[in-house]
């Protein structure tokens, strides 16, 4: 048996512990864990499945699989986990919507999520210096106001940026269009329409951060995380995972993460999510009863509170297990309490588009071009729509075929 | 036995003729085996993948679902795809500047090195060649550190002499040029070695005659070295064009903002492995192939016209 996992220390460790534990209990099963860098893993999984030499258990991300037929990639899991309804008793239900699956069957187990955009991470020390109580902010507009106070300028340059949403621009655009009651994707037709009055309004607000309020500049925006680590950025929305990683990289920083509050003019509380880690099993297991039993056993072990609890010692993002967060041990791990607070704050309002575009990075780049005034807001939205519609059409044509 | 033909005739008639035939038979069998081996190698490593890529360029496929034939659509898509043309612009700009600058510098340095002898020449040659043997990931990481806008080595140097710090890789206007500098540094050693070998092949008496006629270094370079080195220059240009179109990790790890450093090679990879748009990716790779073919043929035509001596 082999397992492929992204080369993120705490997760690799959890895989290894589960593998060793299972192997020692079974006595006959030998399990190898291969840790692979993110980009290599992405380039490896689907071609390997096509060639029939993929690992028995694989970690991956939902957006890698949306542009193809997931039912032809992985083993259906309903028979082993009691179907979606049963899984929803232990896993956050909205995480089961991360991919539009044929027949509403289950082909993946939601595993963990960084929650980009849905979580705001702050330099708590800098907020305290300004007497800003971010924990009490009821709307995102209060973060904008705080950012103006936190920004320190030196002549034309910015010594400390108050807020940056550079890498979260696309997911925030989607979230806020929904919050304002708009829509940007029609699931039945596959039509993208970020170009809308709501879309223009939101992108204008995001652009204002960089062009009008000047709470951040391009230099800092391009390397949000690095500047955040150096204390040169007070607020960023890269995701909940940054809390743990940044705390390790620079222990002197006093950091905290909160669920991103809604806009002041929001009609509904909603958070768009587009990128979560999932576990999948090889289709080859269907024809090998012994390996299938081992694979299912290992997968169950990997999503059990016992395995997940160890991850929260180093990882501050969300894990998908409701069971984990109801386990009292969660309060005793280093990031357990934060992970629980963020996960339980985000998932009830989380929503996925269930689109078919695997690579949305070019759409994000178009928005970023508008943030720097390289192109107009209308042009950026139109370009993003054109790209997304083209990709969506290609994927839908393949799926129809 | 005045000619080679006489020698062959003698051997055929002589007592060793049987042994010679046996040897020749063995040699031709070995040659046949090597030839077939190479043919099979090229068949599977080049021709089959190439044929698959051609076929794929007429399909809509994602590795998994059944391929759907789409005719010329993937090729037509290219003409309306702004990202594609942006990648063409980046690739051509990069290749043109990188190759021109690297070859000019390489030529000058090779000529200067040819004036040195012994240890000095070997020392400088080794120095220039060193980056070629450094693993590309290591040199990319090194240069990324040098180009860091806040506290990177280049900006520390600039500010220490009173010049303004530069954004380098953070600027859409500067990022491509940063990669050009890095790539020139990496491959300059190879160019110098090739040019130096070419210069060393130029008959010494031509240089001596020029010196006797009072030609200085610049005159020798311009009137003797440059014209006689033309075949080597054309060869280097062909190899460089192909090489620059294939560069990948430099553009992935030193990427600039937006699409400012996205080349055709990177775009093809993203289409195939990130977007699962393999058919279109294959069509783009066919475009690269045709571009390289045209560039190579044009350059080889010039090679045919090159001066022989």
* Min Cα separation B209/chain A (Å): 59
Shared-domain flag, residues A8 and A110:
yes
Best of A398, A399, A400 to disrupt the B interface (most B CBs within 10 Å) is A398
Sign of CA dihedral B101, B105, B108, B111: negative
Largest interatomic CA distance in chain A? 69
The stretches in chain A having pLDDT less than 50 are none
Tally of domains within chain A? 2
User: Three-state DSSP class for A313?
Assistant: coil
**ipTM at complex level:** 0.89
Shared-domain flag, residues A166 and A85:
no
Q: Where a domain ends, among A351, A368, A384?
A: A351
Shared-domain flag, residues A76 and A134:
no
Question: Which CATH number characterizes residue A308's domain?
Answer: 3.40.190.10
Nearest residue to A397 (alpha-carbon basis) of B3, B60, B181: B60
The verdict on a CB contact (< 8 Å) between B62 and A42 is: no
Phi, psi of A33 (to 5 degrees): -115, 125
CB proximity list for A348: less than 8 A, separation 6 or greater:
A94
What tokens were used for B287? 């475009």
The verdict on a CB contact (< 8 Å) between B276 and A362 is: no
User: Three-state DSSP class for A116?
Assistant: strand
Task: For strands A57-61 and A109-113, give the pairing.
Answer: unpaired
Task: For strands A109-113 and A277-281, give the pairing.
Answer: antiparallel
pLDDT of residue B4: 47
Buried b (16+ CB within 10 A) or exposed e, A237-257: bbbbbbbbbbbeeeeebebbb
The verdict on a CB contact (< 8 Å) between B65 and A398 is: yes
Cβ(B108)–Cβ(B184) below 8 Å: no
Nearest residue to A45 (alpha-carbon basis) of B82, B175, B63: B63
pLDDT of residue B10: 53
The torsion region of residue A27 among left (phi > 0), alpha (psi -120 to 50) and beta comes to left
* Min Cα separation A47/chain B (Å): 6
CB proximity list for A271: less than 8 A, separation 6 or greater:
A117, A118, A175, A260, A346, A349, A350, A351
Shared-domain flag, residues A10 and A31:
yes
Chain centre to alpha carbon of residue B140: 18
Shared-domain flag, residues A342 and A204:
no
The torsion region of residue A376 among left (phi > 0), alpha (psi -120 to 50) and beta comes to beta
Predicted TM-score of the model (pTM): 0.88
Shared-domain flag, residues A229 and A347:
no
CB-nearest partner of A49 from B64, B66, B280: B64
**C-alpha span between B285 and B277 (Å, rounded):** 12
> Directed axis angle between helix B153-160 and helix B136-146, to 10°?
30
Q: Where a domain ends, among A351, A367, A386?
A: A351
Q: How many CB pairs under 8 A join A and B?
A: 78
Buried b (16+ CB within 10 A) or exposed e, B66-101: ebeebeebbbebbeebebbebbbebbbebbebbbee
For A201, the domain range is 119-272+356-400
Q: Which residues of A touch B275 (CB under 8 A)?
A: 67, 357-359, 391
* Min Cα separation B36/chain A (Å): 28
Tens digits of pLDDT across chain B (309 residues): 444 455 555 555 555 566 666 677 777 888 889 999 999 999 999 899 999 999 999 999 999 999 999 999 999 999 999 999 999 999 999 999 999 999 999 999 999 998 888 899 899 999 999 999 998 888 998 999 999 877 789 999 999 999 998 989 988 889 999 999 999 999 999 999 999 999 999 988 888 888 888 888 888 888 888 999 988 998 899 999 999 999 998 998 888 888 999 999 999 999 999 999 999 999 999 999 999 999 888 888 877 765 554
Shared-domain flag, residues A25 and A10:
yes
**C-alpha span between A321 and A112 (Å, rounded):** 9
Shared-domain flag, residues A172 and A214:
yes
3-class SS string, A219-233: HHHHCHHHHHHCCCE
Model confidence pLDDT, tens digit, residues A98-149: 999 988 899 999 999 999 999 999 999 999 999 999 999 999 999 999 999 9
The stretches of A230-314 forming alpha helices (DSSP H) are 241-249, 289-302, 305-311
The verdict on a CB contact (< 8 Å) between B170 and A222 is: yes
Shared-domain flag, residues A377 and A257:
yes
User: Three-state DSSP class for A258?
Assistant: strand
DSSP string, A55-85: -SEEEEEHHHHTTS-GGGTB---HHHHTHHH
pLDDT of residue A2: 95
Cβ(B192)–Cβ(B125) below 8 Å: yes
The verdict on a CB contact (< 8 Å) between B66 and A72 is: no
Shared-domain flag, residues A161 and A295:
no
Interface of A with B (CB under 8 A): 42-43, 46-47, 49-50, 67-69, 72-73, 218-219, 222-223, 227, 357-359, 361-362, 365, 368-369, 372, 374, 383, 387, 391, 394-395, 397-399, 401
* Min Cα separation B157/chain A (Å): 19
Shared-domain flag, residues A267 and A293:
no
The verdict on a CB contact (< 8 Å) between A218 and B65 is: no
Shared-domain flag, residues A258 and A292:
no
């Amino acid at each position: 048996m082999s397992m492929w996992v992204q080369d993120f220390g705490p997760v690799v460790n959890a895989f290894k512990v589960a593998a060793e534990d299972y192997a020692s209990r079974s006595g006959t099963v030998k399990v190898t864990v291969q840790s692979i860098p993110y980009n290599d893993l992405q380039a490896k999984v689907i071609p390997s499945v096509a060639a029939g030499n993929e690992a028995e258990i694989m970690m991956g991300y939902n957006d890698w699989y949306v542009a193809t037929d997931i039912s032809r990639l992985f083993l259906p899991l309903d028979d082993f986990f009691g179907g979606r309804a049963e899984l929803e008793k232990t896993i956050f239900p909205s995480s089961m919507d991360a991919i539009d699956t044929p027949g509403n069957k289950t082909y993946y187990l939601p595993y963990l999520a960084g929650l980009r955009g849905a979580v705001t991470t702050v330099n708590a020390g800098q907020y305290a210096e300004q007497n800003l109580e971010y924990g009490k902010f009821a709307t995102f507009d209060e973060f904008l106001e705080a950012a103006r106070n936190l920004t320190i300028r030196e002549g034309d340059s910015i010594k400390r940026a108050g807020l940056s949403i550079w890498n979260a621009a696309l997911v925030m655009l989607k979230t806020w269009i929904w919050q304002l009651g708009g829509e940007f994707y029609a699931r039945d037709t596959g039509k993208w329409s970020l170009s809308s009055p709501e879309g223009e309004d939101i992108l204008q607000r995001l652009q204002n951060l960089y062009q009008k309020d000047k709470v951040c500049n391009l230099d800092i925006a391009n390397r949000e995380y690095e500047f955040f680590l150096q204390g040169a950025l007070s607020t960023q929305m890269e995701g909940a995972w940054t809390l743990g990683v940044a705390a390790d990289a620079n222990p002197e920083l006093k950091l905290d993460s909160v669920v991103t509050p809604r806009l002041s003019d929001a009609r509904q509380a909603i958070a768009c999510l587009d990128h979560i880690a999932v576990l999948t099993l090889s289709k080859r297991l269907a024809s090998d009863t012994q390996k299938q039993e081992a694979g299912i056993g290992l997968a169950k072990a990997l999503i059990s509170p016992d395995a997940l609890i160890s991850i929260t010692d180093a990882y501050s993002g969300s894990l998908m297990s409701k069971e984990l967060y109801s386990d009292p041990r969660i309060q005793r791990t280093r990031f357990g309490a934060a992970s629980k607070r963020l996960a339980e704050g985000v998932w009830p309002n989380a929503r996925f588009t269930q689109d078919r575009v695997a690579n949305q990075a070019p759409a994000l780049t178009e928005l970023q071009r508008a943030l720097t005034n390289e192109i107009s807001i209308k042009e950026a939205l139109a370009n993003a729509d054109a790209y997304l519609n083209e990709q969506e059409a290609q994927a839908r044509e393949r799926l129809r075929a | 036995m005045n000619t080679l033909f006489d020698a062959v005739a003698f051997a055929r008639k002589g007592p060793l003729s049987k042994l010679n035939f046996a040897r020749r038979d063995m040699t031709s069998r070995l040659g046949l085996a090597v030839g077939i081996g190479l043919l099979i190698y090229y068949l599977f490593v080049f021709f089959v993948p190439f044929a698959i890529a051609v076929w794929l360029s007429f399909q809509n496929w994602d590795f998994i679902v059944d391929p759907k034939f789409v005719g010329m659509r993937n090729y037509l898509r290219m003409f309306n795809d702004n990202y594609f043309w942006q990648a063409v612009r980046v690739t051509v700009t990069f290749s043109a500047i990188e190759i021109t600058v690297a070859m000019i510098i390489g030529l000058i340095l090779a000529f200067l090195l040819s004036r040195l002898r012994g240890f000095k020449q070997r020392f400088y040659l080794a120095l220039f060649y060193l980056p070629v043997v450094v693993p590309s990931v290591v040199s990319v990481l090194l240069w990324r550190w040098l180009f860091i806008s806040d506290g990177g080595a280049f900006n520390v140097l600039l500010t220490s002499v009173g010049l303004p710090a530069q954004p380098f890789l953070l600027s859409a206007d500067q990022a491509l040029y940063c990669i050009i500098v890095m790539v020139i540094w990496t491959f300059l050693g190879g160019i110098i070695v090739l040019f130096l070998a070419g210069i060393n092949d130029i008959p010494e008496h031509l240089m001596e005659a020029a010196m006797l006629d009072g030609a200085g270094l610049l005159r020798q370079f311009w009137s003797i070295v440059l014209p006689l080195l033309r075949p080597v220059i054309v060869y280097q240009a062909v190899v460089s064009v192909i090489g620059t179109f294939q560069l990948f990790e430099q553009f992935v790890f030193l990427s600039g903002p937006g699409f400012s450093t996205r080349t055709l090679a990177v775009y093809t990879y993203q289409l195939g492995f990130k977007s699962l748009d393999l058919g279109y990716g294959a069509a783009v790779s066919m475009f690269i192939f045709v571009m390289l073919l045209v560039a190579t043929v044009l350059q080889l035509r010039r090679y045919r016209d090159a001066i022989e001596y």
